[in-house]
Amino acid sequence: MAALLITINTVAQVERGSLLIKNGTVLTITKGTLENTDVLLKDGKISQIGKNITAPAGINVIDATGMHVMPGIIDAHSHLALDAVNESTSPVTAMVWEGDDLNPLDVSMYRAVAGGVTISHAMHGSANAIGGQCQTIKHRYGTVDPKVLMMEGAPRTIKFALGENPTRVHGNNGQGMVPNTRMGVEFVIRQAFSEAKEYMGAWSKYNSAKVKKGFRGAPPKYDLRMETLAAILRGEIIIHCHSYRADEIYMMLNVCKDFGIKRLVFQHVNEGFKVAPELAAFGAMASVFSDWWAYKFEVYYSTAYNATILTRNGVITSINSDDAELTRHLYHEAAKTQKYGGLNDEEALSLITINPARQLGIENRVGSLEVGKDADLAIFKGHPLSVYAIPVVTVIDGVVKFDREKDVDDMRIYVDPKQTIDVADAAFEEHGAHNHDACMKNAEFLLNVKMSDLNR
């Protein structure tokens, strides 16, 4: 059985570079702010942080005088670079995995890089109580190999969802089955974990019998859904749970306590401020929007102070985008916590760097500027929390992935020869029309090129 499960992963060819960044204001996040400091990146890792570092031969130098150098921004909730988001055919779809439908050609990744975002959490959607497994990706834009995007060694994660979305999809207004209510969602999750325990029991019974001499018998039926749920129970997968209301958040804490699950991150968590001490006591984390709410009934009771209240209660908190556009200015989203709650610079920047890294289980690799960590960083003109901040260079694994000076208009990797180009649509857009209807579909890329022109 074990042999069946071992996957032979071909080693992806990841490009790693070296670079010296001179004389910047280095926002390390975990070790303070260092003025007039150099950062040496070697073979994809941060090898030295200090003053007057001389560039080893053959290494490019970026003069960051007057600029701010911060860790690459991490977005703990994103759907970039995915061909499919929801396998919505069942309330429990733990067997599917977003790593299987990564699309390295998605130009949104480059746009995220242009906003200093180097890592995102490519998540399954919220149609199901237990959705699919997610994949933490590095925005190594420029490859066609999906395996290159996968952050090597990042822990497995999975999407859960509470409240209106799974009940709407599967309940009486959807597929007419359980869950139709919040109690139904709890039941679906408890039932799935209970079945997984039985499944684990059946397999461990079989495996221990199998090694005995002369054993003859049938194995239990292999079930990929149960395999994944069992891995959650064994602590190998971090749950990222879509949630809004305090009652259902508290419910989920209890479910996890009952099944001995410790690695739990809540997503959105608009009412997290009501149960902040409970979250902190459990050790659950929270990934929130800065100030987005009221887009459906369960999201009315919200506050822009959410991130601050959670932080002040000792909950590891991040601010996410859940959106290909918003991700490009997560630094502004983080800055809002200074207006609403008065977080200091380090706390505010932690919301988009080391804290999401902790939530994804990659904090020993990224999220702060420390020697030995991955060479992922963003260089800003102006302080990244300033409304005047401009991202100028983004580096991933020591390789420059965005340079404002050398930003090409058309950054698509593949071009569909059958795609129609209608410049008339683009002109229409320039005159202030909205971009959300299907008739604009084939011109979207064009519009965004225009928008980047305007920003310059």
Partner 1 sequence: MNLLKRGMLALALSWPAILFAQDDKALAPVSRTYAIANVNIVQAPGRKIDMGTVVLKDGLILFVGKNVSIPADAIIIKADSMYVYAGFIDGLSRVGVTKPKEESQGGSQQQRPKDPGNPKPEEAGITPQNDVRSSLNPADKSVAEFRNIGFTTAHVVPYGGMMPGNGAIVLLGGRTADEMVLVNKSSFYSELTPAQRVYPGTVMGVMAKYRELYRQAALSRSYENMYAANRSGIQRPATDRVLESLYPVVDKRQPVLFKAEKVTDAQRVLTLQSDLGFTLWLAELKEGWDIVNKVKASNAKVFLSLDLPEDKKDDTPARKKEEVEKNDKPKTAADVEKEALEKRKADFTAKYIGQAAVYQKAGVKFGFSTINVKASNIPSNLRRMITAGLSEDAALASLTTVPAELLGLSDRLGTVDNGKMANLVISDKPYFEEKAKVRYVFVEGNLYKLEIKEAKKGDPNAKVDLAGEWTMTTETPKGKNDETLTIKKDGNNFTGTVSGGRLLKPVDLEEVILDGNALTLRYTVNYDSQNLTVTVDAIVEGDTFKGTASIADLGIFPVEGKKNPK
Q: Which residues bind partner 1 (CB under 8 A)?
A: 1, 4-5, 7-10, 83-84, 86-93, 95-98, 100-105, 132, 144-147, 175-177, 216-219, 221-224, 409-410, 412, 414-419, 421, 423, 426-427, 446, 449
CB of 274 to partner 1, least distance (A): 34
Residues sharing a CB contact under 8 Å with residue 166, sequence separation 6 or more, in sequence order: 91, 126, 127, 128, 129, 179, 185, 188
* 221 DSSP assignment: P
Task: Tell the residue number behind the tokens 């920003």, with chain if given.
Answer: 455
Nearest Cα to Cα of residue 179 among 127, 244, 129: 129
CB of 84 to partner 1, least distance (A): 4
Choice between 46 and 96, CB closer to partner 1: 96
CB of 7 to partner 1, least distance (A): 5
Choice between 88 and 317, CB closer to partner 1: 88
Question: How many CB atoms neighbour CB 13 within 10 A?
Answer: 9
Choice between 218 and 438, CB closer to partner 1: 218
Nearest Cα to Cα of residue 80 among 447, 374, 332, 330: 330
Hey, what are 180's tokens?
Answer: 């139709």
Cα distances from 15 to residues 74, 109, 399, 400, in angstroms, run 20, 17, 7, 11
Judge whether 321 and 327 are in contact, CB under 8 Å: yes
CB of 86 to partner 1, least distance (A): 7
Choice between 108 and 313, CB closer to partner 1: 108
∠ CA 28-32-33, nearest 5°, is: 75
CA separation for the pair 378, 80 (Å, rounded): 19
Name the 3-class secondary structure at 23: strand
Name the 3-class secondary structure at 343: coil
CB of 188 to partner 1, least distance (A): 11
β-pairing, 117-122 vs 390-396, is: unpaired
Q: What is the CA radius of gyration of the chain?
A: 23
CB of 423 to partner 1, least distance (A): 4
CB of 133 to partner 1, least distance (A): 9
Choice between 57 and 408, CB closer to partner 1: 408
Hey, what are 174's tokens?
Answer: 């959807």
Cross-strand bridge partners of residue 400 = 395
Element (H, E) at 207: helix 182-210
CB of 393 to partner 1, least distance (A): 25
Choice between 87 and 271, CB closer to partner 1: 87
Choice between 344 and 419, CB closer to partner 1: 419
CB of 258 to partner 1, least distance (A): 24
Name the 3-class secondary structure at 131: strand
Cross-strand bridge partners of residue 136 = 121
CB of 375 to partner 1, least distance (A): 26
Asked if omega into 179 is within 30° of 0 (cis), the reply is yes
What are the backbone dihedrals phi and psi of residue 204, each rounded to the nearest 5 degrees, phi first? -70, -30
CB of 421 to partner 1, least distance (A): 5
Choice between 195 and 278, CB closer to partner 1: 195
Choice between 212 and 372, CB closer to partner 1: 212
DSSP characters for 287-310? EE-SS---SSGGG-S--TTHHHHH
∠ CA 182-187-192, nearest 5°, is: 130
CA separation for the pair 226, 217 (Å, rounded): 21
Choice between 88 and 311, CB closer to partner 1: 88
Choice between 91 and 384, CB closer to partner 1: 91
